[in-house]
Chains A and B, each alone.
Chain A
Amino acid sequence: EVQLVQSGAEVKKPGESLKISCKGSGYSFTSYWIGWVRQMPGKGLEWMGIIYPGDSDTRYSPSFQGQVTISADKSISTAYLQWSSLKASDTAMYYCARRFGEFDYWGQGTLVTVSS
């Protein structure tokens, strides 16, 4: 069974760093792109970027380029999304999803709250 399991909810202060994770199982982790999607409170889905864990090829949405870093550790079948300096506007639910062309499997989401 394909599963993507994300790390737990986070509460951070502005300016802090953060790295959230997405662990894949039940399939060949290095053979499929993993994407990250942001959903701000009460808003729609925003595509942030994708990574191919096989060779770490990464593509970013222009809206998120330079704002976040996407990485992966294929040895532990885990993808990451990280911020070096969080802002209040980063408060959102973040989903990872496996890309089979479309996003066929999704993680359960990680809620990130940034507040002073």
Chain B
Amino acid sequence: DIQMTQSPSSLSASVGDRVTITCRASQGIGNYLAWYQQKPGKVPKLLIYAASTLQSGVPSRFSGSGSGTDFTLTISSLQPEDVATYYCQKYNSAPLTFGGGTKVEIK
């Protein structure tokens, strides 16, 4: 089965900083990659699908890129409301594995 590895597992950045999270698949998955945001105590929320398509209503400071095995989620200017754990997920075929998560905090 394909493994999904996220890095870093946590990060601390200042408001306004550019933040980059990486997700690597152990085999190619095309662009079948989604990113989710989970705020503390809340339900996960879809941010990006097809590696780079922003879900409706998601702020434009979020962006995704990549294909094949290497993917990136970028927050162009970190805001206090972005404090959350971010997960990638492959969805080309079962198992629809999640990455281990990246916890983003404000410095």
* Cβ distance A60 to chain B, nearest Cβ, rounded Å: 8
Counting CB contacts under 8 A, is B36 at the interface? yes
Mark interface residues in B71-98 (1 if CB within 8 Å of A CB, else 0).
0000000000000010101010011111
* Cβ distance B65 to chain A, nearest Cβ, rounded Å: 16
- How many chain A residues touch B (CB < 8 A): the figure is 22
Contact residues in B for A62 (Cβ distance below 8 Å): 1, 95
Q: Is the pair A35, B96 in contact by a Cβ cutoff of 8 Å?
A: yes
* Cβ distance A109 to chain B, nearest Cβ, rounded Å: 6
Inter-chain CA distance A37–B49, complex, in Å, is 18
For A59, the closest partner residue in chain B by CB is B94
Contact residues in A for B49 (Cβ distance below 8 Å): 101-102, 104
Q: Is the pair B95, A47 in contact by a Cβ cutoff of 8 Å?
A: yes
* Cβ distance B74 to chain A, nearest Cβ, rounded Å: 18
Q: Is the pair A44, B44 in contact by a Cβ cutoff of 8 Å?
A: no
For A43, the closest partner residue in chain B by CB is B101
Q: Is the pair A44, B97 in contact by a Cβ cutoff of 8 Å?
A: no
* Cβ distance A16 to chain B, nearest Cβ, rounded Å: 26
- Majority-rule SS of A interface residues: strand
Q: Is the pair B34, A106 in contact by a Cβ cutoff of 8 Å?
A: no
* 52-107 of chain A: CB within 8 A of chain B: 59, 61-62, 95, 97, 99, 101-104, 106-107
B interface, CB within 8 angstroms of A: 1, 32, 34, 36, 38, 43-46, 49-50, 55, 85, 87, 89, 91, 94-101
10 interchain residue pairs of minimum CB distance: A102-B34, A59-B94, A102-B49, A44-B101, A45-B98, A61-B95, A47-B96, A106-B43, A102-B91, A101-B91
